[in-house]
Structure 1
Amino acid sequence: MTTVPGTVLVVEDEPSIADVLTIALRFHGFEVMCAATVRDALALAESTRPDAALLDVMLPDGDGRALGRELRARRPEVALVFLTARDAPAEIVGALGFGDDYITKPFNIDEVVARVQAVLRRVRPADVLPQRPPLRYGDLELDETTYTVRRAGRSVELTPTEYALLRFLMRNGGRIVPKEQLLRHVWQYEHAPPESTVVETYVSYLRRKLDALGPPVITTRRGVGYGLA
């Protein structure tokens, strides 16, 4: 029996784009559901509970980012990948604020499939990892079985990508992890463009959440990478 790699909710109001995405994702073994509006997407998500959502930012009855927030509120573990206009950097910043990845239009369909696969590997690491005791570093505790994080005994709500980033840093203890290594192991990027700031962006988000509960815990080695203090 073939194992289905996951269920993806595609929310795109342009029929030709939605068809291409659906065909490609199904070819790679995904179950795919399609919606063209925020309203239909919420109804589908409620009845099917997708593992990932591929969301156009501009929809006829609302904003794809607002839809992503609602999906994440209903199911914190759902992975969010946004489709954005190439000339709209504000959309990219807004999407990365709580999502897991973004893809600019026009896009390469193979890249879309690869990005969805990479995001789901981050969201569902227990599919390939045996159960293990929680990771601990200082007052941080990360449970790889329940996908929960606590600092000084208080729960920290993280997106799947923030969780994956913290998990990798904790597995490396106090070692400084080069940016290139983070891109490979957390984002599954083998050849990220040198101007990519995705690591810096997510370190900033993670710092904001962790530092609210104690002294700064992530240290920066300028020009090299990041580690835990």
Structure 2
Amino acid sequence: MGFTILHIEDDEEIGSWVSEFFTERRYKVIWLKSGHHALEHMEQMDIVIMDIMLPGLDGYTVGQRMKQKFPEIPIVLLTARTSIEDKLQGLAFADDYMTKPYHPDELEARIQILLRRSGAVSSDLIQLNHLRIDRKANRILNEETNTEILLTGKQFHIFMYLLDHLNQILTQRQIYEAVWNDPYIKGDKTLMVHIRHMREKIELDPSDPKIIETIRGIGYRLKI
């Protein structure tokens, strides 16, 4: 199961694509176009992402009321307001403040950080698209099929090294030397072959990988 997000946004286009983005990544999204009934949904939420400029009650008022009643639930403010005064006012109660435009991958990364801090996500349990990774048990579960993904020793070592450097671009040399403990020889295809076989196991569509990204001419990145 993914986590539940309360998304408060009155703009139809923004609200739609943010909701679709997180739904595709196995979050449950409750989308409201105003904050009037937000408190009624809070008990089932793991995190809130909301605009400041809302019809009726503004995001500052709604967010303050949420934080007073549900202080443990993280709030991310998403807004076009960039002044330091607005940021300080928002961060007086919110846990993060992002200005528009923003990239959804960055928003998801920030949400994962806040979920870990709040205790909703164990540091041993990581949700990565359709994968649920239990680092303590060394298990990777495909939630689409509800089956465990079995990697070879080298594949698992590569995957965990990429996971330890989540969202970072790593060179082929860095990965090879960390996993094989041998000097990397330029042009060696060993790592590339292992990555290809890993994608066949962990990607929904290996021909269009969404988890292990190839950075042309450099190496790879595990994306969230």
The alpha carbon displacement at 1:125 in A equals 6.4
Q: Which residue of 2 aligns with 1:124?
A: 119
Letter in 2 for 1:54: I
Seen in structure 2, the aligned counterparts of structure 1 residues 126 and 113 have a Cα distance that, compared at 3 Å, is closer
Q: Secondary structure at the match of 1:83?
A: strand
- In structure 1, runs of 5+ residues without a counterpart are 130-187, 191-229
Give the paired residue count: 129
CA distance in 1, matches of 2:101, 2:86: 15
User: Given the alignment of the two structures, is residue 113 of structure 1 paired with residue 133 of structure 2, yes or no?
Assistant: no
CA offsets per residue over residues 163-213 of structure 1, 9 Å max, x none? xxxxxxxxxxxxxxxxxxxxxxxxx998xxxxxxxxxxxxxxxxxxxxxxx
Q: Which residue of 2 aligns with 1:101?
A: 96
Q: Which residue of 2 aligns with 1:17?
A: 14
Is the Cα–Cα contact under 8 Å of residues 8 and 53 in structure 1 kept in the other structure?
A: yes
CA distance in 2, matches of 1:189, 1:58: 31
Q: Which residue of 2 aligns with 1:28?
A: 25
Q: Secondary structure at the match of 1:65?
A: helix
Normalising by structure 1, we get a TM-score of 0.51
Q: CA RMSD in A?
A: 2.5
- In structure 2, runs of 5+ residues without a counterpart are 125-165, 169-224
Q: Which residue of 2 aligns with 1:37?
A: 34
Q: Which residue of 2 aligns with 1:50?
A: 45
Is the Cα–Cα contact under 8 Å of residues 115 and 121 in structure 2 kept in the other structure?
A: no
Structural mapping, 1:1-229, within 5 Å: 3-4=1-2, 6-45=3-42, 48-124=43-119, 127-128=122-123
CA distance in 1, matches of 2:89, 2:24: 31
Most deviating of 7-16 and 57-66: 57-66
Letter in 1 for 2:14: I
Seen in structure 2, the aligned counterparts of structure 1 residues 34 and 125 have a Cα distance that, compared at 3 Å, is closer
CA distance in 1, matches of 2:84, 2:54: 18
Seen in structure 2, the aligned counterparts of structure 1 residues 62 and 26 have a Cα distance that, compared at 3 Å, is same
CA distance in 2, matches of 1:62, 1:189: 36
CA distance in 2, matches of 1:88, 1:59: 18
Is the Cα–Cα contact under 8 Å of residues 86 and 106 in structure 1 kept in the other structure?
A: no
Q: Secondary structure at the match of 1:103?
A: strand
Q: Which residue of 2 aligns with 1:213?
A: none
Percent identity, aligned pairs only, is: 31
Letter in 2 for 1:93: L
CA distance in 2, matches of 1:128, 1:115: 15
The alpha carbon displacement at 1:97 in A equals 1.4
CA distance in 1, matches of 2:25, 2:114: 15
CA distance in 1, matches of 2:79, 2:87: 7
Letter in 2 for 1:114: A
CA distance in 1, matches of 2:95, 2:10: 21
Seen in structure 2, the aligned counterparts of structure 1 residues 126 and 103 have a Cα distance that, compared at 3 Å, is closer
The alpha carbon displacement at 1:88 in A equals 2.9
Q: Secondary structure at the match of 1:58?
A: coil
CA distance in 2, matches of 1:126, 1:60: 32
Bigger Rg, structure 1 or 2: 2
CA distance in 1, matches of 2:33, 2:39: 11
